[in-house]
Amino acid sequence: QHNPHWWGNRNTIVHLFEWKWSDIAQECESFLGPRGFAGVQVSPVNENIISAGRPWWERYQPISYKLTTRSGNEEEFGDMVRRCNDVGVRIYVDVLLNHMSGDFDGVAVGTAGTEAEPRKKSFPGVPYTAQDFHPTCEITDWNDRFQVQQCELVGLKDLDQSSDWVRSKLIEFLDHLIELGVAGFRVDAAKHMASEDLEYIYSSLSNLNIDHGFPHNSRPFIFQEVIDHGHETVSRDEYKDLGAVTEFRFSEEIGNAFRGNNALKWLQSWGTGWGFLPSGQALTFVDNHDNQRDAGAVLNYKSPRQYKMATAFHLAYPYGISRVMSSFAFDDHDTPPPQDAQERIISPEFDEDGACVNGWICEHRWRQIYAMVGFKNAVRDTEITGWWDNGDNQISFCRGNKGFLAINNNLYDLSQDLNTCLPAGTYCDVISGSLIDGSCTGKSVTVNENGYGYIHIGSDDFDGVLALHVDAKV
Ligand code: QV4
C-alpha cells in the first residue's frame, strides 16, 4: 500500500498541522490545487480528550471514533474531502491505532461530548474496556521489543491490536474514513504495534471510494511513523513492505548538512547511498510536527534561509515521497495552535502576498517553497544528471533537460558558467521571483546552445538557492 494515488503529475504532500476542515477545503480550491500540491496530511479526526490550555498534542489522546474535534465535525470533514478531491488534492488522515488517552482524574469529556474514564481504561464511546488493552507498564528500555510494543508510550493506554474486537473497531474507523473519500493514512506510533497486527488491519481495509474518483481496486496509501535512527531493535524494515515509512534519517541528515555540519558536496549520493530506505518506501521531510520542536540538527521555520535551501534540495532531488511541513508559530513544546478566547482554533489570514499573518506560519505559502512544488511537478520522471560541486558547499544538478538547481551555502559568492542541461533560452529563477506576463520578477538566466548559463548566487543574496525549469521559460 505504497501508492499515494496522486493526480496528474503532482507529487508533494503538505501537512496542514492543526488546520480546520473548512479552511483546508478553501485552501485546496484557492491555493493547493492551482499550485499543484498532490495531497494534504490532516491532524487526527477522531474525538480526543480536552487538556488544559489546549496543547496541540491533546489530539493524540483519543476518546472515541466520532469525527468531532477542534478542526470540525464529520459533515465538515466530508465536505473538505470532496472539495479537495474535486481539485485533485488527496487527503491523508493521521490515525491513532496504538492507544487511547492517558490518565485523567475522574470522568473525562471529549471534544464530541463523550465521557470516558481513562484511569479505568473505560471508553464507552467505542466501547473499549480494560480487557482491550495491554496491562499497564512503562517503556524504560527502547531496545526491549516487549516494552516498546506492549507498554504505554508516555502513559497512553495501549490497545491490544491482536484482539478481534480491537481490530474490528479500528478497521471500522478506517473504513468509515475511506467511505468519506480519503486516499490513505499516516499511522501514528506504528513502531509501538506489532507489524503482524498492522498487516492484518491494513489488508482488511476496503478499497478506496470510486465515487471520489479513485480507480477500482485502489488500496489505501499507508505511511507509518517509525522512528529509526539506525540500529534499533524494532526497525523500519519490519514495516516497509506494508506501506511507506517515515525516514527520520533524511530529516536529521538534511538538517546537519544545511546547518553547515556536513559539506553539501556529499549530497551527491543522497538517498539509498546514505542508507535510507528505497525511494518508494520512504516518506521524506525536512521537519515534522514533533522534531521541529526539538533542539538539535533538525531545521524548522525559525532558520528560514537554511530551511528554504534544505526544502529546495528535498523537492529537487529525486528521492522519496515528499511531505512539506506547514506549522503554526510556537515558543515551546506545548504552545497551542492559534485560538480565540473561547479556545476555538482560528482561521489563517493572509497578507497581499498570500503569506499567513495571524500565528500560522504556512511554509507552504512561501514562494521559495511552493515554487519548488511546481519544480518537482515539472521535472517528474526525469533522472538526476550533471552534478557539479566546488568541493564544499556549492552544488548544482539537472533533472533531465527539464530543471536545474544550484545552491550556495558557502560564505562567498557562486559566480560561474554551469551546465543547466536545459534547451537554449531565457529562464526565470523561481526562487527569487516568478514568470509573470512573459517576464521574470526575480533573477533570470540565459542558457546557450550547449546548455550552459551564467549562475550567480551571492553569499548575501536573500536566498541561497536558484531554480530553473521548463515551465518558467520566458
Ligand atoms: C506524562 C509523562 C509520562 C507519564 C504520563 C502519565 O511525561 O512519563 O507516563 O504523563 O500520565 C503528552 C504530554 C506527556 C504526558 C502524556 C500523557 O506531553 O508529558 O505524559 O501526554 O498524558 C504527542 C506529544 C506528546 C504527548 C502525546 C499525547 O508529542 O508530548 O504527550 O502526543 O498527547 C516516540 C514514539 C513516536 C512518538 C514520539 C513523540 O516512538 O511514535 O515519541 N510520535 C507520535 C506523534 C506524537 C504523539 C504520539 C506519537 C503519541 O507524532 O506527536 O505524541 O500519539 O519517539
pLDDT, tens digit, for every residue of 293-310? 998 999 999 999 999 999
Q: How far apart are CA 455 and CA 406, in angstroms?
A: 8
C-alpha 293 to ligand 1 mean position (Å): 13
Q: What is the pTM of this model?
A: 0.97
C-alpha 57 to ligand 1 mean position (Å): 8
Give pLDDT, residue 106.
86
Q: 178 and 201 in contact (C-beta within 8 Å)?
A: no
* Atom nearest to 333 CA in ligand 1: 30
pLDDT, tens digit, for every residue of 197-223? 999 999 999 999 999 999 999 999 999
pLDDT, tens digit, for every residue of 392-415? 999 999 999 999 999 999 999 999
With H, G, I as helix, E, B as strand and everything else as coil, classify residue 313: helix
**Cell numbers placing 128:** 473499549
Alpha-helical regions (H) of 296-400: 304-316, 367-378
Q: Is 225 a catalytic residue?
A: yes
Mutation choice for ligand 1 from 57, 103, 139, 142, CB with most ligand atoms inside 8 A: 57
Alpha-carbon dihedral 414, 416, 422, 425, rounded to 10 degrees: 110
Order of strands across the sheet that contains 425-428? 414-419, 452-457, 444-447, 425-428
Stretches in the chain below the pLDDT threshold 70: none
Give the closest residue (by CA) to ligand 1 atom 41: 189
**Structure ipTM:** 0.96
Report the interhelical angle of 248-256 vs 304-316 (nearest 10°): 130
Question: Cis before residue 124, ω within 30 degrees of 0?
Answer: no
Give the closest residue (by CA) to ligand 1 atom 43: 189
Matching residue, cell 484511569: 119
**Considering only CA atoms, which of 256, 327, 315, 258 is closest in space to residue 289?**
327
Q: In a 10 Å sphere around its CB, with 0-12 CB exposed, 13-18 middle and 19+ buried, how is residue 461 labelled? A: middle
* Atom nearest to 152 CA in ligand 1: 9
> How many residues in total does the chain contain?
474
Give pLDDT, residue 473.
97
Give pLDDT, residue 150.
98
Give pLDDT, residue 231.
87
**Considering only CA atoms, which of 79, 243, 97 is closest in space to residue 158?**
97
Give pLDDT, residue 337.
98
Amino acid at site 21: W
Give the closest residue (by CA) to ligand 1 atom 3: 154
Q: In a 10 Å sphere around its CB, with 0-12 CB exposed, 13-18 middle and 19+ buried, how is residue 119 labelled? A: middle
Candidates 225, 238, 287, 429; catalytic one: 225
Q: In a 10 Å sphere around its CB, with 0-12 CB exposed, 13-18 middle and 19+ buried, how is residue 199 labelled? A: middle
**Considering only CA atoms, which of 407, 406, 389, 414 is closest in space to residue 469?**
406
Give pLDDT, residue 102.
97
C-alpha 101 to ligand 1 mean position (Å): 10
Ligand 1 neighbours (beta carbon < 6 A): 57-58, 60-61, 96, 102-103, 153-156, 188-189, 191, 225, 227, 290
377-to-367, 374, 455 alpha-carbon distances in Å: 15, 5, 23
Give pLDDT, residue 257.
98
Give pLDDT, residue 295.
84
Bridge partners of residue 403, in order along the sequence? 399, 469
Please state whether 382 falls in left (phi above 0), alpha (psi between -120 and 50) or beta: beta
